């Protein structure tokens, strides 16, 4: 079985993806060492050094720590997002080489690091062009993490992998304003709006906005497959099956059996109009394919986080 012979360190173990990684490892019986917020502030190099020094020798480290915000608030805190994330990532790189050099560092990236484009972006376009204005600081820090992994690997003889992920949703995702990604936010607001008895549902932005979308269980399976197939490179880890915001909203309303009239308010927040990755390299090298359809993923979230909707 993969990972059974050595510990996996999960940095960010109490975040959304981190929690699901730890759960998956424990369900499989694989040894895992979670490191979460209780370890301290990862912008402090002493905290990160201590956390990895005290951890058991590991075969790999999953780096899922990030400070991120969503929606219009991002425009006001780009410097903070750059400052904090750059320090977190540099501290992880230094602690990795000093304390866990035998471990493969698997860092989790975001499609926002790519420049805006009208086509699915392959890995060759990583770092070329300018990301969307709403994510400039955050994206630059992620680009630095990927470049740092490569340069540290080359200089110090370390193994690494930077996985660029889809927009991920699932049970326990953030739903609060300024932290929720579009799928979790729309699903939560749809449930609450229907509960309030409304027959109209407000959705920000353009329904034709395109995104990659994966349920968290499928994304973790994809990360595992990428880890087995690749090392020392950046790799896009998505299903090459982008969806529109409009398709997602329609699927949510069907799942809730709620024939609400959809309203798109003028002037509401709109990120990049088209953001999708070309994951041909990953799909050709692995047998991974998503197990859950959009409808099945939505049903899983509703059953877990909103059980009163099960018979809606």
Cβ proximity of 169 and 218 under 8 Å:
no
Contact assessment for residue 188 and residue 225, using Cβ atoms and an 8 Å cutoff: no
Q: Name the class of domain 168-210+241-276+291-305.
A: alpha beta
Q: Would you write out the chain's pLDDT as a tens digit for each of its 312 residues?
A: 678 889 999 999 999 999 999 999 999 999 999 999 999 999 999 999 999 999 999 999 999 998 865 556 666 778 888 999 999 999 999 999 999 999 999 999 999 899 988 899 999 999 898 887 778 888 999 999 999 999 999 999 999 999 999 999 999 887 766 555 688 889 999 999 999 999 999 888 788 889 999 999 999 999 999 999 999 999 999 999 999 999 999 999 999 999 999 988 776 666 678 899 999 999 999 999 999 999 999 999 999 999 988 544
Instruction: For CATH 3.40.50.720, list the domain ranges present in the chain.
Output: 7-167+214-237
Cα radius of gyration (the chain): 19
CA separation for the pair 191, 187 (Å, rounded): 6
Residues of the chain with CATH 3.90.25.10: 168-210+241-276+291-305
Q: Are 82 and 125 in contact (CB under 8 A)?
A: no
- 109 alpha carbon, distance to own chain's centre: 7
Q: Is the pTM here over 0.85, yes or no?
A: yes
Instruction: Please give the Cα distance from 149 to 151 (Å, whole number).
Output: 6
Please state, in angstroms and rounded to a whole number, the distance separating the CA atoms of residues 60 and 78.
31
Determine the CATH number of domain 7-167+214-237.
3.40.50.720
């Amino acid at each position: 079985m993969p990972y059974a012979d050595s510990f996996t360190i999960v940095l960010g173990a109490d975040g959304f993806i981190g929690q699901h990684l730890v759960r998956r490892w424990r369900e499989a019986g694989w040894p895992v060492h979670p490191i979460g917020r209780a370890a301290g502030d990862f912008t402090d190099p002493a905290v990160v050094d201590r956390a990895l020094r005290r951890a058991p020798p590991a075969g790999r480290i999953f780096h899922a720590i990030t400070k991120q915000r969503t929606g219009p608030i991002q425009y006001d805190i780009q410097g903070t997002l750059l400052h904090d994330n750059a320090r977190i990532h540099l501290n992880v790189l230094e602690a990795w080489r000093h304390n866990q050099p035998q471990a493969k560092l698997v860092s989790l990236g975001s499609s926002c690091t790519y420049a805006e484009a009208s086509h699915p972006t392959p890995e060759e376009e990583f770092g070329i062009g300018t990301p969307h204005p709403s994510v400039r600081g955050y994206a630059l820090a992620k680009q630095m993490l990927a470049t740092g992994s490569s340069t540290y690997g080359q200089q110090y003889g370390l193994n690494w992998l930077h996985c660029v992920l889809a927009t991920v949703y699932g049970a326990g995702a953030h739903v609060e304003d300024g932290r929720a990604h579009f799928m979790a936010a729309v699903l939560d607001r749809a449930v609450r709006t229907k509960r309030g008895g409304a027959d109209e549902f407000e959705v920000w932005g353009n329904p034709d906005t395109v995104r990659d979308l994966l349920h968290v269980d499928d994304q973790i399976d994809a990360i595992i497959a990428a880890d087995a197939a690749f090392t020392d490179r950046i790799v896009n880890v998505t299903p090459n099956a982008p969806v529109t915001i409009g398709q997602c909203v329609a699927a949510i309303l069907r799942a809730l059996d709620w024939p609400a009239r959809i309203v798109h308010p003028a002037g509401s927040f709109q990120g990049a109009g088209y953001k999708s990755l070309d994951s041909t390299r990953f799909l050709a090298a692995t047998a991974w394919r998503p197990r859950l359809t959009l409808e099945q993923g939505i049903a899983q979230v509703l059953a877990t986080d909103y059980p009163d909707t099960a018979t809606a």
